[in-house]
Amino acid sequence: MNTYYYVHTGHRIGLDRFRRACTIMRLLKDEDITLLCSDFRIAQVASEFGVEKSVGIDVVRNIPQISHNGDKIIFDSDEANPIMLDEMRKYFSKFIRVTDNKDDKKENGEFLVSPYLNEADVCNVVVIDDKYFEKEEKTIELSFFFGDDDYDKQFEKNFSLLDGLNPDLLLGFYYFFDYEDMLKEKFKNNHEFEDYDNVIKKSKILITASPQAALENLASGGKPIYIQRKDYSRDSQELFKKLNIPTVENYENRQLLTILEGLYNHEYYKVEHNSNYLKEFIKENLNL
């Protein structure tokens, strides 16, 4: 009987789920778990994120080509419809699903990890790696991270968002070479994808369209401002309201500047550090 972790990732949806998956995989580093990614490129470099075993499988329907009936899985994706999810609950002997949807419900035959639900067989946590709770000196006054994906070059189309500002730029994983070159020309203070952790932890203020990056910067003692992308789910909105993370809509420069002007007196709420609780929940319910 094998244990798997499937995560939906790719050049059109970014790495937020992948970073969350790697956090959980590192918590379970003593267990034999194989990470299944819907993108081959990130699967090839997963070892750099502390994941020993990873396989690219292209699409969610290829999971049975790797696994067997009765295996166990952690599932982080919104690709599957209710029928497919029901089939998976029956196919796997243990099924843990990670969700961001505040309207989601726990179904029979599964366990849930959710920042919203608080009931039996649900682990009510925000998944953030331990390293972001280790406070470091903030040496970057203002940084901007659009995200790891920008296939349609939305950032380029909305440069006016940052008018009047001069942030450090953190580049994304799935950017095209010519796009990276152009961004480096425009933003003299830029950081490569490999500097992600350093930028997130050392930024006093982080402007970002990545929900996971916003949460990680908050945990590290920073002041994140979230940019709601039009092509991204709004599932994080309720959580950000709870944590009092400001949100900018429609790439509005004036709204962003107003938030920045009031940030000194803005009170962020603490995000809980619950990695031990999460670890024990998963190990207990996967019988690891």
Same domain, 147 and 207: yes
Domain count, the chain: 2
Same domain, 31 and 100: yes
H-state helical runs in the chain: 16-27, 40-44, 63-66, 82-91, 154-157, 177-186, 196-202, 211-219, 237-243, 253-261, 275-286
What's the CATH number where 110 sits? 3.40.50
Residue-level pLDDT at 231: 86
Q: Which residues of the chain have pLDDT under 50?
A: none
Same domain, 256 and 145: yes
Same domain, 66 and 108: yes
**Which one-letter amino acid corresponds to residue 61?**
R
270 lies in some domain: no
In angstroms, rounded to a whole number, what is the distance separating the alpha carbons of residues 58 and 242?
35
67 lies in some domain: yes
Residue-level pLDDT at 37: 94
Entry field: residues in the chain: 288
Residue-level pLDDT at 197: 97
Same domain, 118 and 164: no
Same domain, 136 and 123: no
Pull the structure tokens for residue 126.
């925000």
In angstroms, rounded to a whole number, what is the distance separating the alpha carbons of residues 114 and 210?
18
Instruction: Name the residue with tokens 């580049």.
Output: 171
Same domain, 135 and 150: yes
The strands making up 223-227's β-sheet, listed across from edge to edge, are 190-191, 168-170, 140-145, 203-208, 223-227, 247-248
The string of DSSP codes covering 243-284 is HT--EE-TT-HHHHHHHHHTGGG--PPPPP--HHHHHHHHHH
Same domain, 122 and 143: no
Residue-level pLDDT at 10: 87
Boundaries of domain holding 14:
3-127+275-286
Same domain, 94 and 19: yes
The strands making up 3-7's β-sheet, listed across from edge to edge, are 54-56, 33-37, 3-7, 72-76, 94-98, 111-114, 122-124
In angstroms, rounded to a whole number, what is the distance separating the alpha carbons of residues 94 and 11?
30
Same domain, 61 and 178: no
Residue-level pLDDT at 161: 97
- Rounded to two decimals, the pTM is 0.95
Residue-level pLDDT at 238: 94
Same domain, 215 and 193: yes
Same domain, 22 and 59: yes
Pull the structure tokens for residue 224.
């994140």
